[in-house]
Chain A
Amino acid sequence: MLIPGVCALVAVLVPSVLIHFSIIDAYTAQILTLSGINAIMALSVNIICGVTGQLSLGQAGFMAIGAYSTIMLTSSAHLPLAVSIVLAGVITAFFGFLIGFPTLKLEGDYLAIVTLGFGEIIRVVLVNLKKWTGGPNGKQFPTILTLNPAVAYLVIIGTLALLIILVQNFVRSTYGRAVLAVREDEIAANSTGIGVFKYKMIGFVIASFVAGIGGALYAPFIGFVKPEQASFTKSIDYLIFVVFGGMGSTTGSVLAAFVLTYLQEFLRFLQNYRLLIYPVILILVMIFRPQGFLGMKEFSFVRAFDWITVKISGRNGASRGKKHTATEEHNV
């Protein structure tokens, strides 16, 4: 835990200091922080699609719930922002539980369609509940995160790092393995003593919580939110990160979110043609590298450290590191 913890701390603290002193400019800070939000959403998609094996096309709906909840909790209930964010995540997880009940009884394509439907219903409801949500024009929500790029980076990338650690801890555990077993073969998992519906639900609720947190951070950072945030189009955007990065790989999903967010900014000069190049690249990836960049492989700090120490100390004397609990060495 020490090595990844230290790395996380460095990745979170150092750039935010640099941003604070304008060594990193505000524009770059904006992209990095937005990538962080996208990475949180990619994490959510990876949990439900990659780890749990249930194709959900509605994660953006949960993000919207998180976003609007934060706004309502802070503006109407006057809770401090930090509390609102966490609470918004919990509220979203609750919705995930409710929606999961009917949804997770379905298989494959049907499940995908229902999640799509729920995402769109959320969008339509948000448009129509004008009194609470501000209707199709959305709601403004300027906060310290909107105004101060260093704080925004700190909070969002910090949350990302924390979520990654917690998610990885979960996946590399007996609970995580149960969820993976359900993904791999439901009947075999069931026959090995694992309650299939229960673990699908666990994966679904965790994914909705993460998506809720993503939305809860998005609203204060961007400064407003619109019902479109719940749309199918947005869900697809996040799904694409995971497909590119490797369905089932946390590392891949997060990396892809950063790379693709940056790419979209970079390609802005192409204006509308960017909208054409992006899907063409998508098709090419689907045809030639369908498992995405990393497939299901995961970057493991422990293995990287091992590898480095072996390289440094040469072939002699490198007893293969300390004996690791085998959990850390899987391609999980």
Chain B
Amino acid sequence: MSDEKNLVLQAADVSIVFGGLCAVSGFSCDLYEGELAGLIGPNGAGKTTLFNMFSGIYTPTSGQISFWDRRNDVHVINKMNPAQLNKLGVARTFQNIRLFGNLSVADNVRIALHNLRTVSPVDVLLRTPRYRRDEKIMSERTAELLELFKIGSKENELAKNLPYGEQRKLEIVRALASNPKLLLLDEPAAGMNPQETEELMNMIDFIRKEFHLTILLIEHDMKLVMGICERIMVLDYGRVIASGKPEDIKSNPQVIKAYLGSEAV
């Protein structure tokens, strides 16, 4: 077995400028298969902007982002849109939960299975056996995933009626349903109490192993970040100011200065 780890995502000197404002400047990183990395930094540092570039919502002004898909073919993804990237294997959650509120929990997950469909519009209109088969497969897979994360009993509830913690969970389940290779989690622990955060940490760990994923997450909750991330990148004013293992980052003076100001150093 080769010792060489496979790249999943590579950013080479990526920058993005909005009007006159440079939100991200010269960002580079190599993300390898199976890694669990964290992206931290003060508010407005450009973390979500980076995610938006990785998931196709924004196009970088300069630099190159490369992604290795499930068959290990490399693609330059700068100009791709989110749907294309999702098909290639990138899935994400959002800082402010974006569920399909008026649809059921099960439907939220089923929609992520959309690209597995084999039916044509005719099958759908006439309810052919192929349609029934497709629906059965999707329903089974949905039930499986929901059970795994213990929200199976809420299958038919409207997503908007779920309690906050479960909504966050559902968003992650939906992302997983599209069978991604890279999972981007944007502040998954936002608004959670310590116990929920603990559960989330276990969940993320579990996901990584069970689904063979690479995970990149943005977080402000240091306990979570330090607790599960193998590698941390710190962003401030659009630039990387530190990168390395949690212990190193914790004691890095630049990082402390960015968060707490220069007096704290």
Residues of A within 8 A of B (CB): 1, 166, 169-170, 173-178, 180-181, 184-185, 187-196, 248, 296, 325-327, 329-332
What residues of B have a CB within 8 angstroms of the CB of A331 in the complex?
Answer: 102, 104, 158
Q: Is the CB of B178 within 8 A of A185?
A: no
Q: Given A174-B114, A195-B83, A326-B106, does the pair A188, B125 have CB atoms closer than 8 Å?
A: no
Q: Is the CB of A181 within 8 A of B127?
A: no
Number of residue pairs spanning A and B whose beta carbons lie under 8 angstroms apart: 118
What residues of B have a CB within 8 angstroms of the CB of A330 in the complex?
Answer: 103-104, 106-107, 156
CB distance from B44 to the nearest CB of A (A): 20
CB distance from A150 to the nearest CB of B (A): 29
Of B2-10, B87-95, B202-210, B247-255, which stretch is located at the interface?
B87-95
Q: Is the CB of A190 within 8 A of B81?
A: yes
CB distance from B186 to the nearest CB of A (A): 11
Q: Is the CB of B100 within 8 A of A188?
A: yes
B: interface residue count bin: 35 or more
Q: Is B121 an interface residue (CB 8 A)?
A: yes
Cβ proximity bits B114-138 to A, threshold 8 Å, 1 near / 0 not = 1101010100111100011011101
Residues of B within 8 A of A (CB): 55-57, 81-83, 86-87, 91-92, 94, 98-104, 106-107, 110-115, 117, 119, 121, 124-127, 131-132, 134-136, 138-139, 142, 155-156, 158, 174-175, 178
CB distance from A220 to the nearest CB of B (A): 25
What residues of B have a CB within 8 angstroms of the CB of A191 in the complex?
Answer: 55-57, 82-83, 86, 91-92, 94, 98
Q: Is the CB of B124 within 8 A of A170?
A: yes
CB distance from A326 to the nearest CB of B (A): 5
Closest Cβ neighbor of B117 among chain A residues: A174
Q: Given A174-B117, A185-B98, A325-B132, does the pair A332, B107 have CB atoms closer than 8 Å?
A: yes
Q: Is the CB of B103 within 8 A of A177?
A: yes
12 contacts between A and B (CB under 8 A): A169-B124, A169-B125, A174-B119, A175-B121, A177-B111, A180-B107, A184-B102, A185-B99, A185-B100, A191-B91, A326-B156, A332-B107
What residues of A have a CB within 8 angstroms of the CB of B156 in the complex?
Answer: 326, 329-330
Most chain B C-beta atoms within 10 Å of own C-beta, residue among A166, A173, A180, A331:
A173
Q: Is the CB of A173 within 8 A of B103?
A: no
Q: Given A169-B127, A184-B100, does the pair A326, B57 have CB atoms closer than 8 Å?
A: no
Closest Cβ neighbor of A165 among chain B residues: B125
Q: Given A192-B86, A195-B83, does the pair A178, B99 have CB atoms closer than 8 Å?
A: no
Closest 10 interchain pairs by CB?
A: A193-B86, A188-B98, A184-B100, A190-B82, A173-B124, A191-B82, A181-B111, A174-B117, A185-B98, A192-B112
